[in-house]
Chains A and B, each alone.
Chain A
């Protein structure tokens, strides 16, 4: 394995800790929801696997993975936006 990838992996761990350490607790739910949407990038994994699928079983499981990943990423960002929309409204 390329050691550069390991380097990126380790740095990402620290960045993840760093960006969250200053979030006020009132934003914890949207933050959890937002990061939940970001791991929806697994949709790409589903797409790449399904693109190469050669057997009916692999196609079926890949198809399910794409549906799951797609629900995760689109639903995740939309539900977070809906949550944050509520935060934005100010008292008249």
Chain B
């Protein structure tokens, strides 16, 4: 490697690291993304082959035409996807982009595997293992992301389970690993192609089997995990084709993604194994755990005019948004309501649970789109100690993240999860379409509290009524 290329690679790595670092603060986040993109552009322009010669100075062949066309097609698909997607569907889009990245990583590793296996030098076990790893992880990230996308789109959101599922999945994984072991030793055998094909298909199937039993509510964790998987697959590809920028970039994503996944699980107070191997889905009876404690309690409905009155004469209001707000596309109405209350001297804050919505920060993105200033957005830890002084807590389409069962009901599957303690406010108004249980399938004790009122109906329409009522009074 020439020293010029080494310097460029160092520069690219520094740009990626600074980029991620700047993404950590709201003020510099956009710049951070651009810095990382600049790093990518530099790396692309100076793309070199393992031996050191620049790819772009090789003379034009059919393959280069294909590269140009393929890159252009990807660019157009990416741009259309990125700019046409609604803010509420952002998580799905990230899942898709992650999936195709994983697919690319798997294809690169497979092609390299066969080229090397039949090449003159043959394949050392180390490279065979890295390539098989990239193929396995990349393809399961591809199919897993596709399922995560479909689940977020509302297709088979419920966990899909059957008895012995974990054992079944474990057996598939064993077969995959067995095939990998065989291929490591016999990379150039005549049956290697068949074994590789079977391994590839099983890995795709394993991605599906792994994500199917996980409920839609846990998709943030899954996408984050698959994101770090793709990063690792890319790093492994970097090892196989001896490209340092890919190793550094892939590893950065792999490790930061792993930490992000763990942070998200920590916010839900569940170990990552519990999310992945289905406590919610497979425990079956757990879904109705809270029901027996309800006794004869019923919910108390409230009409919009009364709710408007409560809000208008409150001093402190906390709004807890959830996935229901995203579904109803009600973020602009929420902002309008908060502005209207602000004009009347009501102090309005937004309580954001780390795992509200379908991705961490999902609510922040939506509220930012509706121009809610950040200083009104508070994290769970900041809101909870002040909850006793809050006059009205307005829950808009949030469910599991405000369920006091997490504190009170030891038999509940969400017991121990940190929640926004909405029930401690003087009055709680819950906006909800119907009495259906949340994604976790757990009865919400909050709805049956004495200080809770239910405002049924579509969140957007109800908010509009509240705004009209407030303006009129």
| Residue ranges of A at the interface with B (Cβ–Cβ < 8 Å) | 1, 5, 8-9, 12-17, 19-53, 58-59, 61-92
Contacts and interface: CB of A to CB of B under 8 A. Distances in A.
Contact of A72 (B78, B224, B237): B78
B377 interface: yes
A37 B253 CA distance: 9
Given A31-B20, A44-B243, A84-B30, A79 B82 contact: yes
Contacts of A1: 126, 239
B100 A68 contact: yes
Contacts of B33: 30, 34, 37, 77, 80-81, 84
A88 B34 CA distance: 14
A74 B79 CA distance: 7
Contacts of A44: 43-44, 47, 243, 245-246
Contacts of A76: 78, 82, 94, 97, 101
Using C-beta atoms within 8 Å of the partner chain, give the interface range for chain B.
35 or more
Interface stretch (B60-68, B428-436, B456-464): B60-68
14 contacts: A12-B252, A19-B21, A26-B352, A30-B361, A31-B24, A33-B97, A41-B245, A44-B43, A49-B108, A67-B70, A70-B77, A86-B369, A87-B364, A89-B368
Interface stretch (B83-91, B208-216, B272-280, B288-296): B83-91
B58 interface: yes
A21 B248 CA distance: 18
Given A84-B30, A85-B30, A87-B365, A62 B20 contact: no
Interface centre among B91, B100, B249, B352 (most CB of A within 10 A): B100
Given A16-B258, A87-B365, 15 more contacts: A1-B126, A5-B239, A13-B254, A27-B23, A29-B94, A37-B97, A41-B40, A42-B250, A48-B243, A51-B63, A69-B74, A70-B75, A71-B74, A86-B369, A88-B30
Contact of B237 (A24, A45, A80, A87): A45
B359 A53 contact: no
B16 to A, nearest CB: 6
A56 to B, nearest CB: 11
Nearest to B91: A29
B97 A36 contact: yes
Contacts of B264: 28
A9 B373 contact: no
B404 interface: no
A29 B30 contact: no
Contacts of B359: 28-29, 32
Nearest to B231: A39
A20 B259 contact: yes
A39 to B, nearest CB: 4
Contacts of A52: 63, 115
Interface string B12-47: 010011011101111001101110110010011001
B465 to A, nearest CB: 24
Contacts of A70: 70-75, 77-78
A91 B373 contact: yes
B95 to A, nearest CB: 9
A71 B255 contact: no
A81 B361 contact: no
B78 A75 contact: yes
B111 interface: yes
B251 A26 contact: no
B104 interface: yes
Interface centre among A62, A67, A82 (most CB of B within 10 A): A67
B74 to A, nearest CB: 2
A22 B256 CA distance: 11
A66 to B, nearest CB: 3
A42 B90 contact: no
A39 B248 CA distance: 10
Contacts of A58: 111, 114-115
Contacts of B360: 25, 28-29, 32
B241 interface: yes
A18 B436 CA distance: 41
Contacts of A87: 26, 29-30, 364-365, 368, 374
A71 to B, nearest CB: 4
Contacts of B336: none
A92 B227 CA distance: 36
B181 interface: no
A38 B47 contact: no
B159 interface: no
B107 A79 contact: no
- Enumerate the 7 nearest inter-chain pairs by beta-carbon distance, A residue then B residue, closest first: A70-B74, A75-B78, A16-B255, A28-B360, A66-B70, A78-B82, A72-B101
A47 B55 contact: yes
Contacts of B58: 51
Nearest to A90: B373
Given A39-B253, A86-B365, A19 B82 contact: no
Contacts of B233: 42
B104 A29 contact: no
Contacts of B94: 29, 32-33, 36, 76, 79
Contacts of A89: 368, 371
Contacts of B82: 74-76, 78-79, 82
